[in-house]
Chains A and B, each alone.
Chain A
Amino acid sequence: MTEVRESVAGDGVAARGALLEARGLHVEFASRGRRARAVDGVDLAIGAGEIVALVGESGCGKTTLARTLLGLERPASGSILYGGTALHYRSRALRAYRREVQLVLQDPMGSLNPRQTVYEAVAEGPRIHRLAGEQEVVASALARAGLRPPERFFLRYPHELSGGQRQRVVIAGALALDPKVLIADEPVASLDASVRGEILALLLRLRAELGLSALVVTHDLGLAWNIADRVAVMYLGRIVESGPVDRVLTEPRHPYTQALLSVLPESPERVVLTGEPPDPTRIPGGCRFHARCQVLASGRAADAGVDGRCRSESPAVLRAVPDAQAACHYAEATA
Chain B
Amino acid sequence: MSLLLLDDLSVTYRIASGEVPAVRGVSLGLEPGTALGVAGESGSGKSTLAMAMLRLLPRDARIGGRVLLDGEDVLTMKWGRLRAVRWAEASIVFQGAQHGLNPVRRIGDQIAEPLVVHGRARPEQARRRVAELLEQVGLPAWRARGYPHELSGGQRQRVMIAMALACSPRLIVADEPTTALDVMVQAQVLTLIRQLVAENDISLIMISHDLSVLADVCDRLAVMYAGRVVEHGPSREVFHDARHPYSRALAAAFPTVGDPASRLAPRGLGGDPPDPMRLPGGCSFHPRCPVALDGCSALDVELWPAGEGREAACVHARPKLTEAGEPATTAGEAP
Report A's interface with B, CB cutoff 8 A.
57-58, 162-165, 192-201, 204, 219-222, 225-227, 245-246, 249-250, 259-261, 263-266, 270, 272-274, 276-277
Scan B164-191; emit 1 where CB is below 8 A from any A CB, else 0: 0000000000000000001111111001
Q: Report B-chain residues with C-beta under 8 Å of the C-beta of A266.
A: 212, 215-216, 256
B270 within 8 A of A: yes
In terms of DSSP, what is the predominant structure of the interface of chain A? helix
For residue A246, which residue of chain B has the nearest CB?
A: B263
User: Roughly how many angstroms separate A273 CA and B210 CA in the complex, as a whole number?
Assistant: 22
B147 within 8 A of A: no
B266 near A226 with CB under 8 A, answer: yes
B268 within 8 A of A: yes
Among A58, A198, A265, contact of B268 (Cβ-Cβ < 8 Å) = A198
A58 near B255 with CB under 8 A, answer: no
Q: Report A-chain residues with C-beta under 8 Å of the C-beta of B211.
A: 193
Q: Which of B7-15, B81-89, B246-254, B319-327 contacts A (4 or more CB under 8 A)?
A: B246-254
Q: Report B-chain residues with C-beta under 8 Å of the C-beta of A245.
A: 263
B255 near A226 with CB under 8 A, answer: yes
A165 near B272 with CB under 8 A, answer: yes
B263 near A194 with CB under 8 A, answer: no
Known: A196-B266, A225-B258, A276-B152. 4 other contacts (CB 8 A): A57-B184, A195-B41, A221-B257, A261-B257
B184 near A272 with CB under 8 A, answer: yes
B184 near A201 with CB under 8 A, answer: no
B28 within 8 A of A: no
User: Roughly how many angstroms separate A274 CA and B155 CA in the complex, as a whole number?
Assistant: 12
B209 within 8 A of A: yes
B262 near A225 with CB under 8 A, answer: yes
B215 near A201 with CB under 8 A, answer: no
User: Roughly how many angstroms separate A249 CA and B187 CA in the complex, as a whole number?
Assistant: 18
Scan B199-215; emit 1 where CB is below 8 A from any A CB, else 0: 00000000001111101
User: Roughly how many angstroms separate A196 CA and B41 CA in the complex, as a whole number?
Assistant: 11
User: Roughly how many angstroms separate A276 CA and B249 CA in the complex, as a whole number?
Assistant: 33
Name 18 interchain pairs, CB-CB below 8 A, sorted by A. A58-B182, A165-B272, A192-B41, A193-B211, A193-B253, A194-B41, A194-B268, A197-B268, A201-B266, A222-B256, A222-B262, A227-B266, A249-B258, A250-B257, A263-B183, A265-B212, A276-B155, A276-B185
Q: With A200-B266, A225-B262 in contact, do A193 and B250 touch (Cβ < 8 Å)?
A: yes
User: Roughly how many angstroms separate A213 CA and B265 CA in the complex, as a whole number?
Assistant: 17
A270 near B252 with CB under 8 A, answer: no
B184 near A273 with CB under 8 A, answer: yes
User: Roughly how many angstroms separate A226 CA and B267 CA in the complex, as a whole number?
Assistant: 9
Q: With A192-B42, A198-B270, A276-B154 in contact, do A222 and B255 touch (Cβ < 8 Å)?
A: yes
